[in-house]
Every structure is written in C-alpha cells, then in structure tokens.
Amino acid sequence: MSSLNLDDFTDLIERPDGGMRRDAEARRERQIVPPGALGRLDELGEWLAAAQSAVPVRPIERPKVVLFAGDHGIAELGVSGRPAGSAAELVREVMEGGRPASVLARRLGVPVRVVDMALDCDPETLPAEVAGYRVRRGSGRIDIEDALTPEEAEAAFRAGVAVADEEADSGTDLVVLGDVSVGGTTAAGTLIAALCGTDASVVTGRGGQAIDDLAWMRKCAAIRDALRRARPVLGDQLLLLATVGGADLAALTGFLLQSAVRKMPVILDGVVVAACALVGQRIAFRAPDWWLAGQNSGEPGQAKALDRMALEPLLDHGVTVGEGAGALLALPLVQAAAALAAELPEKPEVSEKPTDAEKPTDAEVLEKE
C-alpha cells in the first residue's frame, strides 16, 4: 500500500506572500523611474518579492540548472529526429560542455545538474551522481503499453521530490528546469492533449530536431493511440504518468510540486516541462504561482499548457532544443528584474515646509507690499 498522497500537496503549497507583493508595488511607486516604464521587469520584481517574502528583493545569487533525463520507448516508431535510446549521448555532451545548455550555463556561471531517471544505457557508464536515482532502463512504448509500473511511477515522483529538497537545502534560490530525452515530446503531447481535452493534431509539434512531415504524422498517430490509453486514468495523476508519461516526466512533476512546497522559484523550459507543470497544476492548483515560463518554444503543446496555467512566456525565441536552454536565456532577465527592484533609488521626499533658502527675504516682502 502506497503512503504517497498527492492531495497533501494542496495543503502544503501556499501562494507567494501577497503582503510582500503589495509592499514591493508601493516601493516601486516611490522609485525614480515611473511605474510601468520597465515593462515586464516591474511585474517580475514584484513576483520575486512575493516568492522570497522580502522587500527589497534579494539578488538571485545561486541559480541552478536541473535536467531530468530519460529515453522513451515510443521513439522506436520514428517520432523523433534522434535515434531511439540515444538520450545518454546527449547527457554526455551536456556534461562535457558541448550542448547549447552547457555553453549558456558556462557563460552565465550557472552549475548544471543532470539526473538520470530512465536512460537506455548501462548506469555504470555514467557518474554515480547522475545515475543515482534511476528507476528503470527506458520507459515503455506508450501507444501499446504503460510507460511505467505504478511502483516505478511513485519511485520516480519521489526522486523528483528528493532532488527538490536537496537543491532547496543546499541554498539554490532559483531553478532553471529542463529535460534531456528522446521521445519525451511525444509523451508530453499526450499528457497535454489528455488534460486539455484536445485532439492529437492540436498538440503535435516538430520536436527538438525539427522532424519532417512523415515523422510528424507518425508522431501524431502515436499521440492519438496513447490518448486512448490516457483518458480512462485522467482522475489519477500518478497513474496517468505511469500510463503515458515516463520516469523523467514523473520526476519532473514531483520536483515542480516540492519546489513549490519549499518556496523555491522555477523557470520552466519547453513542452516536456510544461506538460509536467500541467499535471502538477491538477494535483495542487496553487503550484503554478511559483513557476515562470521561460520562453515560447513554438511547440503547440507548450502553448496549450501555458495558456491553461495562465503563464505568459518571458521570451519568444522559438528554442526547441530542450536541455533548459530556452529557460536559461530568460535567467538574466529575472536577475535584472531583481537588481532593478532592489537597487533603484527612491525619489526624494518633498518637504511641505519651505526651507530657509525658499523663504522670501525681508526686501522681497517689502517689494510686494
């Protein structure tokens, strides 16, 4: 009998501090630059104040990129631009510094953590700190079988919770969250279509490798078939992740919810993370208040999920590569908002009484008379 009760997250997750947000708004009105002149940065600064429960806002000094990795059996159908089972190669490239996320993180001075949940490789070929939470080798082919057993789904979800606790305990003050997967966008599209009640064609995108029309049609058919298996279990989010998600997606969902419990802000990357956030919203409706949408990747499923959660992307660069790269591009914007909110001086107070210099002289008084 499982001791995991997802309903607990509804009670554990509080909204960001509304009182601090009002104090931040009042402080913003007193600063030398008129409110609204900084556009979205004003809103971000106030959001950070509420998330941190601090006015003035503290600078973002210890951000972290956290990537959950896994292979998906559905990639065997040719729905991805990469070969099935090749996500481990991407992970190694990230760790060696040769992927877009690696370059951006290095330039921004942000450490990267990769967590293997279901890579299709020998775990001995990966560092222990990467493979320590692995649940299984690859997730099942969701059009004809479950991605995970219920026990594996719970283990993956708990792993995500544990990683969030580790990051919060280590002092991470903001997470850039992404995935490293092959076939993950197909599972994500299935989750989004199921939760939004839409058809497969509405959520099927081209993925990180820009697949051709034939591959897109195969992907659309795979999501359609997986949707038939998803709809009967919509009332149980953990079972939904087991049926049509995957170990990396279950872990991402657990991470997102526990980050909200720990009041640790998260920048969401692409469609895979957006799908997990949507599952998280179903579990705890206040959780999205702790998340920012880093960018609009151009994936239709991501747009659908973000719209359902009322999250507006910070950037619109169409970055579909995954790995947290698009969300990393938004990090300097968030850091700039924190700096401006904290460091812009306030307008000098206007004294109601005239100073000695402002008082008329005796000669001026006589002249007026």
Tell me which residues are annotated as active site: 323
Helix, strand or coil, per DSSP, at residue 182: strand
Closest CA to 333 of 60, 37, 16: 60
Q: Coil, strand or helix: which one is 6?
A: coil
Q: Is the CB of residue 142 less than 8 Å from the CB of residue 226?
A: yes
Cα separation, 238 vs 247, whole angstroms = 11
Backbone angles phi, psi at 174, to 5 degrees: -165, 140
Q: 36 and 148 in contact (C-beta within 8 Å)?
A: no
Residue type, 109: G
- The Cα 111–Cα 66 span in angstroms is 9
Cα 275 from Cα 280, distance rounded (Å)? 9
Alpha carbon dihedral 267, 71, 245, 249, in 10-degree steps, equals -20
Three-class SS state of 3:
coil
Distance CA 192, CA 190 (A): 6
First to last CA, the chain: 95
Give CA–CA dist 27/118, Å, rounded. 47
Of 120, 123, 134, 116, which is closest to residue 76 (Cα–Cα)?
A: 120
Handedness of CA 187, 191, 197, 198 (dihedral sign): negative
The CA angle 184-188-192, to the nearest 5 degrees, is 175
HSE of 28, CA atoms in CB hemisphere, 13 A: 28
Tell me how crowded residue 365 is: count the other CB atoms within 10 A of its CB: 10
Q: How far apart are CA 327 and CA 332, in angstroms?
A: 10
